[in-house]
Amino acid sequence: MFKVNENYLKLQGSYLFSKIEEKVKAFEAGNPQIQLIRLGIGDVTQPIAPSIIDSLHKAVDEMGKRETFHGYAPDLGYEFLRKTIAKNDYQKRGCKINTDEIFVSDGAKGDCSNIQEIFSHDSKIAVCDPVYPVYVDSNVMAGRTGEYNSMTGTFSGVVYMPCTLENDFCPELPKETPDMIYLCFPNNPTGSTLTKEQLQVWVDYANRVGAVIIYDAAYEAYISEDNVPHSIYECEGARTCAIEMHSFSKNAGFTGMRLGYTVVPKDLKSKEGISLHSLWARRHGTKYNGAPYIIQRAGEAVYSSEGQRQIKSQVAYYMKNAQVISKGLKDAGYTVTGGINAPYIWMKTPDGMSSWEFFDELLERANVVGTPGSGFGPSGEGYFRLTAFGTYENTLEALERIELENH
């Protein structure tokens, strides 16, 4: 008789956003006359930029001709896209990243969850708390996290680095030495950032103890402050201790098209001298057939002068929403962070309410959907995340509803 992977049984309930969707659907079924405003999941609402659409159309036409048809993509991705990424995202910023160190994929979520496969089963992971659930859940599935403690909301084999109001939502170096350190900045869910000097401390630490930093840079396009790095490779020594993930979902609106990439420098090796680049290349080639040609051409168009102008306009649109939400909530008396270098607003729930109690109250009384902070980890309890990815009109309406509900 077959047996299941018992590690999956350690996962806590359904995935956070699946649970939210279940609650929303139940509410809508019982209240079909009510128009909900969704500021929960980080999905974009602006259409794909015109110059990117033009590139898609051209690529589709190429697929219809024998002379220009493309089948399976190269393992690492098409060179035209990897060269463009290396030049614009790294070399222009003074980062020494080569074309063959970039692996094109269908998004950062898959890479963030799959990267753990190239590390040993007994590797200890460290995560910020609160944290994007995928980092922990993927390691739970791999059997790397130990047992779950329902009283504390933590796994015995995970090093948690609390990010709280007291430390400005920036983690401190862990007391217990980890092998893998997951960092996401600008941060999801808190919207916090690290300066280059602060990030350099982490790079120095990782090199000193022999750890690898898994750096999720999905929101770097939203950085507005000059002292906040767009890439960990802006820090000296990062090539020997860091893997970086990027997404086209949030900067160019590719949530429905799926495109991202991971950088694994060839200088990054285990203490035995084994190259993580070669391991990831082997894994990538075995388990992944590449992002579609037409999508990779669309990704290339993101970096054109017109593409950059158009997507920066979209980023500015969402950040205007963030500023509106942040100011409106502060004016209403809430404690709020984020919304400066990230499209997320992290707010303290009022009157000592739990995160899910506040979720239910906003859903039922204000008809606004957000994300309970406790879904991101125990340090997220008592907090709530709102996204700036809605339309401007809905953002204003949501704020009015929240302010009315508050009074």
Position 12 scores a pLDDT of 83
CB 26 within 8 A of CB 364: no
- How sure is the predictor about 16, in pLDDT bands with cuts at 50, 70 and 90? confident
- How sure is the predictor about 18, in pLDDT bands with cuts at 50, 70 and 90? confident
Annotated domain spans of the chain: 6-47+307-406, 53-304
pLDDT tens-digit map of 254-285 = 999 999 999 999 999 999 999 999 999 999 99
- Distance CA(360)–CA(368), nearest Å, equals 9
CATH architecture of the domain with residue range 6-47+307-406: Alpha-Beta Complex (3.90)
Look-up: residue for tokens 């285990």? 270
287 has a pLDDT exceeding 80:
yes
126 has a pLDDT exceeding 70:
yes
CB count, 10 Å around CB of 407?
A: 7
**Mean pLDDT estimate for the chain:** 94
pLDDT tens-digit map of 70-105 = 999 998 999 999 999 999 999 999 999 999 999 999
Say whether domain 53-304 belongs to CATH 3.40.640.10.
Answer: yes
The mean-pLDDT minimum among 19-23, 324-328, 350-354 falls in 19-23
- Distance CA(308)–CA(313), nearest Å, equals 8
- Average of pLDDT values for 58-68? 97
Write phi, then psi, for 7 (nearest 5 degrees).
-65, -30
Position 137 scores a pLDDT of 95
